[in-house]
């Protein structure tokens, strides 16, 4: 796939891609059709040990899960074109298995992040384009709530701090 061919150059050449991590707004007990399709398009052939980690930001908690797709799931994902439906034609929750996940400070690794540092589109989903090509770099990811991930919030803060000049001219409806 184009994504991995682009990664196999320069300082990334001798590194092995173990999986990908992404956020979602709710927890699923299975790997979604969107995730299976996305992961299947990373490779030209099935990679049995590649994992998808999801970080679900739910009210009051954060849930981390890990999944591995099956050969059947990979084959289905390569041909699926329906990225809008939760259960597209032919989809099965059995196309991936949930993995045991152990969190440890003993395992060392690196992250590849987009060269513009923006990896979280949770607050600006309308500008996300899955077909857009981008370069990656080895770096520590920005925090989830970093201002680069939510520019609209910071433009609202600026507007509030600058004050609203019309406010003084508005009629006081409580007097």
pLDDT on residue 47: 85
- Domain-embedded: residue 174: no
Residue 24 inside a domain? The answer is: yes
Residue 51, in any domain of the structure: yes
Does residue 152 or residue 3 have the better pLDDT? 152
CATH number at residue 51: 3.40.140.10
Cβ-contact 82, 88 below 8 angstroms: yes
pTM > 0.85: yes or no:
no
Residue 175 lies in a domain: no
Mean pLDDT score, 101-124: 83
Residue 126 lies in a domain: yes
| Rounded Cα distance, 71 and 126, in Å | 32
Question: Which H or E run contains 37?
Answer: helix 33-40
Domain hosting 79: range is 2-169
Structural domain contains residue 36 = yes
Looking at the domain assignment, is residue 137 inside a domain?
A: yes
- The rounded percent of the chain whose pLDDT value lies above 70 is 81
pLDDT digits (tens, 9 = 90+) for 75-98: 999 999 998 898 999 999 999 999
Total domain count for the chain?
A: 1
Q: Which token pair is 147?
A: 């201002």
> Is 159 among the domain residues?
yes
Q: Is the pLDDT of residue 2 over 70?
A: no
């Amino acid at each position: 796939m184009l994504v991995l061919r682009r990664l196999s150059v320069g300082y990334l050449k001798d590194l092995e891609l173990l999986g990908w991590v992404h956020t979602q707004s709710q927890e699923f007990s299975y790997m979604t059709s969107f995730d299976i399709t996305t992961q299947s398009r990373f490779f030209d052939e099935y990679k049995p040990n590649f994992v998808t980690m999801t970080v679900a930001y739910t009210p009051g908690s954060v849930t981390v899960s890990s999944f591995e797709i099956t050969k059947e799931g990979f084959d289905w994902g390569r041909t699926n074109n329906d990225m809008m439906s939760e259960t597209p034609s032919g989809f099965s929750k059995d196309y991936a298995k949930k993995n045991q996940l152990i969190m440890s400070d003993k395992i060392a690794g690196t992250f590849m992040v987009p060269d513009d540092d923006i990896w979280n589109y949770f607050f600006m989903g309308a500008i996300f384009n899955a077909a857009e090509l981008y370069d990656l770099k080895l770096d520590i990811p920005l925090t989830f709530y970093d201002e680069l991930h939510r520019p609209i919030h910071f433009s609202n803060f600026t507007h509030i701090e600058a004050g609203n000049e019309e406010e003084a001219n508005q009629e006081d409806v409580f007097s």
